[in-house]
Structure 1
Amino acid sequence: MQKYLTLTFGTIALISCLSACNSADPATETDASSPVTPVQVTKLRDSSLSEFVELSAVSAYLEKSFVKANINGYVERTSAKTGQQVGSGTLLFTLITKEARSIGNTVNKLDPGFKFSGVSNIRSGQAGTIVQVNHQNGDYVQDGEALATISNRNSLVFLLDLPYELNQIISQNKTIDVLLPDGTKLGGLVSGTMPSVDSLAQTQRYIIKVSPGKDIPAGLIAKVRLTKLSHAEAQVLPKSAVLSNETEDEFWVMKMINDSTAVKIKVKKGIESNSLIEVLEPRFAKTDRIIKTGNYGIADTAKVKIQK
């Protein structure tokens, strides 16, 4: 009888144990089938955002003056050198007529009071840089012949070849920063444009006037940044918070609807900077939480865990 009771109780205990094992917690099974993704969240904020286009501009001196002979004669003395910086009124050439050169001393010997010299001093008409010297000592020149060429220091400009499809943005870029290769930044002003378009490149040339305080060689290529679009109070998010498909024609964010669930919200993207993206539509509340890390690849209504 005792063996029978022992066997009965043992059987009941075994059945209870098996039953307990088969009735696992449904919540545990649900958690196992729905993994929780750790994420970090951010909130939208308003910021000034602009979109730029960067182009090249080439330095040039628009005005050149020619130092010309005012007599027929010989170059007796010259101080002009190519690349020399000269001021207005600087003595560059001394000319002497061929008559003075041949008989001038004889006349002075006959009558010292006559003071016949036949010498003419040629000076620069404006400040600038001598870019070309045409004659040296001993050369015979005629009246009106160019002796040297001076580029006007005050006529420094940068020439910008702007694609014609962007010509509508020049009206909002009257003042422009010109960045030189050495890092120097010059303030520029759009002073005019050429009334023609390059037939091959379809670009129109604009003239950017800059301060002549710095000696800049002609032909220097600088960078010019034009504002293409600007929004003063843009609704922005970090770049990592906005996701897109492979063709980048559809964009969305993952928004928290509670402390553990994120849903997919399609958005319309606006201006994009190095670290921020403008969200044009929809308008979010300042308290809305948007996932910025851990959002890649998660599905709509995904289970997530917010990390600090």
Structure 2
Amino acid sequence: MSSKLTLGFALICLILNGCGPVSTSGNQELDKSPEPKTPVSITQISNAPLSDYIELNATATFQQKGIIKASSNGYLQTVNVKKGDYIKGGQTLFTIITKEAKSIGNAINNLDPSFKFTGLTRITANTAGFAGEVSHQKGDYVQEGEQLAVITNLNSFVFLMDLPYELTGIIKNQKALEVTLPNGEKLIGNVGSALPLVDSASQTQRIIIQVKTQKIIPEGLVAKVKLIRSESLNPIALPKESVLANETQDEFWVMKLINDTTAVKINIQKGLETRSYIEIKSPLFKPDDRFILTGNYGLSDTAKITINHK
């Protein structure tokens, strides 16, 4: 009987010993399961100049317009200008013949051909420009001093910009302004004088912007003028997507890679901010530092990552 008990006890011990190692091996396999990694894309710092600016409308106009007037009473015998024509300085625009010349001029010449009486008065342009208005046509009777045409002075071309008065401090610091036409062409403009008048409704002051261009720009064209508030010429900057913030927007950080599989949280101080980039004032990152661009939301400090190279 005792031998049977001894044999049974030995069998139980063998069974227990056999089960023990299997259980331990299973635990080891669970412990070795890989830690999940977040797929991310990366970026590096940019040193391209940044500028914070606003854009305002400016309207093309000619400040000086010459009014061509009749110098005597009479009939318009010739009209050599149409609206929109380019006019050269000294060009004859109209000729006027008086009533008296029209009625007796030929008779006088018949009596004395050497007299060469015509009774014609030539009216010329005193400056180059475009004919903005032509008020009369051939055969009209006009009186002395009556307006015949309006000529715009090409040398008086400017853009007029209505500047909010609170921004007058900014305009004083602008050495040159970028003026963009509707077709995308860019011109360089200089700030001229400011008219001593503020619109009571909009609280804007009219600013004259002078541009140098060989191109003839039509009056009334609306362009965009860039006013720079602040700029940084050699910043350390990162794309906006790589900068994270807390709910109260008073703490900012980036996720910096310390190797190909690990990123750590680095608190930063922001500087100038544009539509696409944010200047990093501190700490001073190196050109070869790498940062998470996408996939960084919700990552904890010392996060495990995998770089998406697509």
Secondary structure at 1:80's aligned position in 2? coil
Matched with 2:144 is 143
Secondary structure at 1:168's aligned position in 2? helix
Change in CA separation of 1:47 and 1:25 when aligned onto 2, cut-off 3 Å:
farther
Matched with 1:196 is 197
For residue 21 of structure 1, the aligned residue among 20, 23, 28 is 23
- Structure 1 stretches of 5 or more lacking a match? none
Secondary structure at 1:234's aligned position in 2? coil
Change in CA separation of 1:274 and 1:73 when aligned onto 2, cut-off 3 Å:
same
Given that residues 154 and 212 in structure 1 are in contact (C-alpha distance below 8 angstroms), is that contact kept between their aligned partners in structure 2? no
Give yes or no for the alignment of 1:123 onto 2:124: yes
Matched with 1:292 is 293
Q: Which amino acid aligns with 1:8?
A: A
Matched with 1:77 is 78
Measured in 1, the distance between the counterparts of 2:240 and 2:28 equals: 39
Change in CA separation of 1:197 and 1:209 when aligned onto 2, cut-off 3 Å:
same
Matched with 1:65 is 66
Measured in 2, the distance between the counterparts of 1:296 and 1:218 equals: 51
Matched with 1:235 is 236
Measured in 1, the distance between the counterparts of 2:53 and 2:80 equals: 49
Measured in 2, the distance between the counterparts of 1:15 and 1:261 equals: 42
- Please report how far the alpha carbon of residue 91 of structure 1 lies from its aligned counterpart in structure 2 after TM superposition: 1.2
Q: Identity over aligned residues, as a percent?
A: 48
Superposition TM-score, scaled by structure 2 size = 0.85
Given that residues 181 and 222 in structure 1 are in contact (C-alpha distance below 8 angstroms), is that contact kept between their aligned partners in structure 2? yes
Matched with 1:174 is 175
Greater shift after overlay, 252-261 or 47-56? 252-261
Change in CA separation of 1:26 and 1:268 when aligned onto 2, cut-off 3 Å:
farther
Measured in 1, the distance between the counterparts of 2:185 and 2:257 equals: 47
Measured in 1, the distance between the counterparts of 2:37 and 2:221 equals: 58
- Please report how far the alpha carbon of residue 148 of structure 1 lies from its aligned counterpart in structure 2 after TM superposition: 0.7
- Size of the aligned set, in residue pairs, is 307
Measured in 1, the distance between the counterparts of 2:264 and 2:140 equals: 88
Superposition TM-score, scaled by structure 1 size = 0.86
Measured in 2, the distance between the counterparts of 1:112 and 1:288 equals: 97
Change in CA separation of 1:138 and 1:285 when aligned onto 2, cut-off 3 Å:
closer
Matched with 1:223 is 224
Greater shift after overlay, 37-46 or 22-31? 22-31
Any idea what the Cα deviations from partners look like across 1:1-27, whole Å, max 9, x if unmatched? 699758834653345424642676579
Given that residues 156 and 212 in structure 1 are in contact (C-alpha distance below 8 angstroms), is that contact kept between their aligned partners in structure 2? no
Measured in 2, the distance between the counterparts of 1:252 and 1:12 equals: 60
Q: Which amino acid aligns with 2:205?
A: Q
Greater shift after overlay, 103-112 or 284-293? 284-293
Measured in 1, the distance between the counterparts of 2:190 and 2:230 equals: 19
Measured in 2, the distance between the counterparts of 1:290 and 1:102 equals: 93
Give yes or no for the alignment of 1:211 onto 2:212: yes
- Structure 2 stretches of 5 or more lacking a match? none
Any idea what the Cα deviations from partners look like across 1:46-80, whole Å, max 9, x if unmatched? 44222222221111111100111112222111112
Q: Which amino acid aligns with 1:57?
A: A
What value does the CA root-mean-square deviation take over the aligned residues? Answer: 3.0
Greater shift after overlay, 128-137 or 244-253? 244-253
Change in CA separation of 1:307 and 1:96 when aligned onto 2, cut-off 3 Å:
closer
Secondary structure at 1:172's aligned position in 2? coil
Secondary structure at 1:51's aligned position in 2? strand
